[in-house]
């Protein structure tokens, strides 16, 4: 078992790749009552075209399969639902699908062993029939309609459509009513057998555990699986330019909501973490709660609350998103672009940079107070090919000069987009 650690925050992670290829990461937290486990597969909404490892068959699946599969995994042949079984034990269980992974998880203070039994049983025993798949189409269809009526989701999908022409990130994670109508048990089993192989999965556990003992408990519950080769995923060619500058929609909102984005081209594996840190610092300097621009907009009544600041990336996409509520999104866009231009011309203010840098570092450290945050971070980062502790360990390498370079190379006006959802006009 390999031990990785962060000397700065005195945390350790025990990592072992089992014979069947499953990566298990255990982050012990002494004297913590809560226990958290998350079991994820590197299969998300963007993985809609691939070559199966054993048969070399090229498969093109309907949009929404990863999410549909996540929903179906809880159903058991005896008519029970594993989610209900876990909840009945007093265990808080859930699952989710993102662009690049699907995850099954639970959090508890008691009954961890029973929870582990149930989790490892249902994730390893898919049960798909014509009848239960047809029934699920109605349930997910309602969910899709609900998302279609959600202004925040429309805002995000339109932003992706502005940034990308062919990239599957612009597709709704749940798919469409039409795309899920094409899902069959055969499609689900093909995807399960390809992507739910242990070599494509990661399990992260955080809590008061003895790592060596826990690994043995996990091994006991794993079903034997033959090794399979690498999954060849087929993605569209990467696009340098944005698809369109602006997109708007009208929905049931009282005040316009906006999402301003900058499309980025992902860099080398070595630079992912460093760049991410620099971008977080820059976003906080530009329009974070303690920035001059935020104070100005708030005073003028242009920004109704602190904007949300995000940097999303994988090997297939990378973009910055600034979202919020404003009666005049175009003025917000103008102010942000003008601030970026001034920061490029005048250089970053030393005092402001250091203050924000300390704030961002503090945010990273605080995440280690929560077993759930720790486990989810390790899963998402491992799928992205990132070592989670690097955000702490590499922090000192992010200098003002390096951050200035990232400002110039990433925050380019030609790569900027704006998505707006306006109130419906009577």
Residues assigned a catalytic role: 70
CA 60 to chain centre: 23
Q: Which residues pair with 259 in a beta bridge?
A: 323, 419
Q: What contacts 171, CB < 8 A, 6 or more positions away?
A: 45, 46, 48, 63
Q: Give the Å distances, CA to CA, from 221 to 43, 72, 208.
A: 22, 21, 20
> 3-class SS at 66?
helix
Cα–Cα dist 278/285, whole Å? 11
Backbone angles phi, psi at 198, to 5 degrees: -50, -30
**Residue that is written with structure tokens 């919020």 in the block:** 324
User: What φ, ψ does residue 348 adopt, rounded to 5°?
Assistant: -80, 140
Terminal alpha carbon distance of the chain: 64
Evaluate the CA torsion angle 283, 285, 290, 295 in order and state its sign.
negative
Its sign, for the CA torsion 298, 301, 304, 308, is negative
Computed on alpha carbons and rounded to an integer, the radius of gyration of the chain in Å comes to: 23
DSSP 267: -
Name the strand (E) or helix (H) holding 212: helix 211-221
- Count of other CB atoms within 10 angstroms of residue 404: 17
Q: How many CB atoms lie within 10 A of CB 367?
A: 16
- Do residues 115 and 106 touch, judged by C-beta distance below 8 A? yes
Distance of alpha carbon 422 from alpha carbon 200, whole angstroms: 42
């Amino acid at each position: 078992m390999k031990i990785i650690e962060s000397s700065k925050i005195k945390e350790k992670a025990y990592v072992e790749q089992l014979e069947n290829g499953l990566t298990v990461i255990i982050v012990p937290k002494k004297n913590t009552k809560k226990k958290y486990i998350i079991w994820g597969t590197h299969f998300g909404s963007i993985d809609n075209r691939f070559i199966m490892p054993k048969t070399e068959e090229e498969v093109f699946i309907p949009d929404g399969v990863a999410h549909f599969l996540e929903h179906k995994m809880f159903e058991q042949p005896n008519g029970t639902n594993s989610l209900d079984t876990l909840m009945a034990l007093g265990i808080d269980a859930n699952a989710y699908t993102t662009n690049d992974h699907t995850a099954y998880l639970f959090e508890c203070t008691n009954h961890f062993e029973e929870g582990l039994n149930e989790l490892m049983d249902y994730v390893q025993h898919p049960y798909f029939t014509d009848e239960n798949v047809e029934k699920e189409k109605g349930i997910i269809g309602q969910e899709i309609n609900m998302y279609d009526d959600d202004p925040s989701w429309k805002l995000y999908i339109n932003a992706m459509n502005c940034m990308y022409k062919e990239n599957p990130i612009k597709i709704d994670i749940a798919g469409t009513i039409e795309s899920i109508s094409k899902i069959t048990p055969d499609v689900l089993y093909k995807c399960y057998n390809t992507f739910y192989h242990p070599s494509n999965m990661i399990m992260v556990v955080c809590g008061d555990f003895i790592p060596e003992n826990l690994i043995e408990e996990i091994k006991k519950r794993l079903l034997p699986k033959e090794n399979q080769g690498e999954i060849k995923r087929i993605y569209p060619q990467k696009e340098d330019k944005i698809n369109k500058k602006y997109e708007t929609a009208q929905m049931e909102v009282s005040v316009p909501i906006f999402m301003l984005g900058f499309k980025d081209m992902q860099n080398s594996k070595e630079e992912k973490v460093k760049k991410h840190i620099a971008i977080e610092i820059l976003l906080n300097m530009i329009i974070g709660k303690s920035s001059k621009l935020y104070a100005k907009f708030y005073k003028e009544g242009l920004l109704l609350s602190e904007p949300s600041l995000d940097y999303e990336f994988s090997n297939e996409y990378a973009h910055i998103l600034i979202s919020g509520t404003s009666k005049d999104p175009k003025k917000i866009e103008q102010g942000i672009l003008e601030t970026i231009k001034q920061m490029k011309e005048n250089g970053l203010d030393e005092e402001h940079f250091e203050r924000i840098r300390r704030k961002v570092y503090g945010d990273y450290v605080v995440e280690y107070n929560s077993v759930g945050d720790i486990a989810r971070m390790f899963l998402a980062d491992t799928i992205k090919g990132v070592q989670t502790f690097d955000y702490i360990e590499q922090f000192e390498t992010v200098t003002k000069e390096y951050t200035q370079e990232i400002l110039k190379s990433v925050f380019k006006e030609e790569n900027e987009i704006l998505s707006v959802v306006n109130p419906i006009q009577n």
